[in-house]
Structure 1
Amino acid sequence: MQIVRTTYLSLGSNLGNKFKNLQQAVDIIALEIGTIAKISSIYKTAAWGFESDDFYNICVQVSTSLNPENLLDAIRKTEISLGRKRTSEKKYKARIIDIDVLLFDNEIIFSKELIVPHKEMLNRKFVMVPLAEIAPNFMHPIEKQRIQVCLANCTDDNKIENTYLKLKRPICLSEKFNYIAIEGNIGAGKTTLTNLIAEDFNAKIILERFADNPFLPKFYEDNERYAFPLEMSFLADRYQQLSDDLAQFDLFKNFIVSDYYIFKSLIFAQVTLQKDEYFLYRKMFDIMYNEISKPDLYIYLYQETPRLLENIKNRGRDYEQNISPEYLDKIHKGYATFIKTEKNLNTLIVDVTNKDFLHNIEDYKEIIELIKNVE
């Protein structure tokens, strides 16, 4: 389980569109560093220590799983991505963006690259005023006083003005969704994506227990004989697992993510069962389906059949190696029909045919952004 800690960052800009610079920085921080819990108002101050245009300054509270060294590295990459050019000169100068680590939980850090708490923060109103707005009762680890008291003791007499401008706070997945179900054809990558999201966003994970099903290898050898016991056993197991796991609230997790939804049972049953078997199966399914909680977001990962066959071959499960393209095409059609007819699900379809979200971080980030933008 990831350890998530709270850090407070100071951001400033006095070149170009300062409001836009700060918003872009906040958006990147949310993507690369962690969940932004609070953002202060934007404060305007004169350049500190040199002659230049006025600065816009804010402070943000971020929950991050990064350690201090990786946090600093991510901050520098954020500055560079926004156009900041660092030099070896020590003097102050105008900048598109400047990001400083003020506090990292209650830790005291003295290293060559990073000093926390920031050694100058108590002497700068452009830092202390926005920080006191979002964390007035946080205890300074060295001074042993609340930030609000530290601000009152600050001797900086430079003018600071609240612009009352507000940046848009990026919304975390856990604030939008309590339960996300990820579906897809065989080999689409649903379990891989589920694991990645659970790890990165501290989610409770529900994975289908297909490996424990004794009928699965037999089904791939003799479809007609083992189709009905296979589908009935899957339905019973999925119903029990989802009923148990969705009912158990985990205080230490932000939300739930699963690599299947129970309607998957009906889609596969339509493909594998004879008509009379399917009629009986449907009766059992309808009873169970009405009892299962519906996901806040249903994600369908679409991959073209040739890519699915390639993925199936690469993962090397013996009993899957004879799966035919025709069988995968039928499952595709089953999902397409379900998505068109099931109007009560909040559905996101993602074409991952040309994406490698396990090995390509940009592909993964693109999918996360699609999820975050779902209404």
Structure 2
Amino acid sequence: MLLRPLRSWAARALRREGPGSLPSGPGSRGAQRRAWPRDKERENEKKSVICVEGNIASGKTTCLDFFSNTADIEVFPEPVSKWRNVRGHNPLGLMYHDASRWGLTLQTYVQLTMLDQHTRPQTLPVRLMERSIHSARYIFVENLYRSGKLPEVDYVVLSEWFDWIVRNIDVSVDLIVYLRTAPETCYQRLKMRCREEEKVIPLEYLDAIHHLYEEWLIKGGLFPVMAPVLVIEADHDMQKMLELLEQNRDRILTPESRKHGP
């Protein structure tokens, strides 16, 4: 019963695309290609999705801002404003104050809004996304469960939704840019930011998120890494980070320059 609304939505979407538009299989980028303009120039154009991953205050916004003025790139920041205001409710703030009560609520909505980010028609050669539906599951849902703040039944339900999405909807990624930052650095940066919800985040939370990112993208743990990983050490000031992003510009934006594996 839980999967029926999403199945109906997917069926309606496929009908809108018309006959012969079924994807070639899980992970295929065919569904997004059909959403782009049909002229030959667009059809032959190589498109890629790049996800910028990292801890809270690891420098993701700096990275997105750096590339935002580059031609032929569309930038998708994390939809934090949606998480802070759902018809007048703030599930992000509620989760930080009482994760045991509101963790499922927030992560259900995060999964929905990140799915929306992944499935929007791509109109430019490169899409640069802040995080992904994959890190929502492998990092933040996993952390809630391991810390004992998400009951197993909630964890299983979220996992079932995620697994169905990955099998049936194109949420593939071409490159992961991992901004590897020490939890202590992130904590100091958080103190200088003005997001009200983040004032209650302890160092221990950032440390747990860091270790899950390391387990996922560096060590190779329980979860699949669905794209090549470019690691950028991000324990630097703004000027140094801008220099590093410039040095890695081609590795990030040029598919031929990427190597597979972390």
CA shift for structure 1 position 191: 2.4
The one of 194, 205, 212 equivalent to 1:316 is 194
C-alpha deviation, 1:299, in angstroms: 0.9
Q: Where does residue 40 of structure 1 map in the other structure?
A: none
User: Aligned AA for 1:249?
Assistant: Q
Residue 181 of structure 2 is aligned to residue 303 of structure 1: yes
The answer to whether the Cα contact below 8 Å between 1:302 and 1:352 also exists between their aligned partners in 2 is yes
1:303 shift after superposition: 0.6
Alpha-carbon offset, residue 185 of structure 1: 0.8
Deviation digits for residues 299-340 of structure 1 (CA, Å, limit 9, x no counterpart): 111110111012212121111012111111111122222222
Distance in 2, Cα, partners of 1:239 & 1:193? 22
Q: Which of 273, 276, 279 in structure 1 is aligned with 2:153?
A: 276
Deviation at 1:278, TM superposition (A): 0.9
- 1:123-272 to structure 2, matched below 5 A, reads 178-213=48-83, 214-243=90-119, 245=120, 248-250=121-123, 253-266=124-137, 267-272=139-144
Please give the secondary structure, in 1, of the residue aligned with 2:132: coil
CA shift in 2, pair 1:355/1:370, >3 Å:
farther
> Higher relative contact order by CA 8 Å / sep ≥ 6: 1 or 2?
2
For 1:360 and 1:301, how far apart are their aligned partners in 2?
Answer: 10
CA displacement, residues 233-276 of structure 1 (integer Å, 9 cap, x when unaligned): 11111112321x2xx132xx332111111112112011112323
CA contact (8 A) 2:51 2:176 kept: yes
SS across alignment from 1:208: coil
Distance 2:151 2:91 in 1: 17
Pairwise CA distance, 1:360:
5.9
What's the RMSD between the two structures over aligned residues?
A: 2.2
Structure (1/2) with the larger helix percentage: 2
Identity over the aligned pairs, expressed in percent? Answer: 23
Contact 1:297 1:346 in 2 (8 A): yes
- Which amino acid in the other structure matches residue 206 of structure 1? F
Measure the CA separation in 2 of the matches of 1:202 and 1:313: 35
Q: C-alpha separation between the residues in 2 aligned to 1:195 and 1:365?
A: 12
Q: How far is the alpha carbon of 1:361 from its aligned partner?
A: 4.2
Counterpart selection for 1:356 from 232, 238, 241: 238
How far off its partner does 1:348 sit? Answer: 1.1
Residue 258 (structure 2) aligns with: 374
Q: Give structure 1 stretches of 5+ with no counterpart.
A: 1-174
Distance in 1, Cα, partners of 2:166 & 2:213: 16
State the alpha-carbon separation in 2 of the partners of residues 236 and 361 from structure 1: 32
Secondary structure of the structure 1 residue equivalent to 2:238: coil
CA distance 1:287–1:197, shift in 2 (3 Å) = same
Partner SS, residue 171 of structure 2: coil
**Counterparts of 1:255 and 1:369, CA distance in 2:** 12
Q: Which residue of 2 aligns with 1:5?
A: none
Give the TM-score, by structure 1 length: 0.48
Q: Does 1:327 align with 2:205?
A: yes
Give the whole-Å Cα distance in 1 for the aligned partners of 2:140 and 2:242. 32
* CA 249–322 in structure 1, closer or farther in 2 if over 3 Å, else same: closer
Contact 2:181 2:233 in 1 (8 A): yes
1:226 to partner: Cα distance: 0.7
Letter of the 2:258 partner, please give it: V
* TM-score between the two structures when normalised by the length of structure 2: 0.68
For 1:282, the aligned partner's letter is S
Note if contact 1:356-1:363 (Cα within 8 Å) is conserved in structure 2: no
Query: How far, CA to CA, are the matches of 2:195 and 2:67 in structure 1?
Result: 24
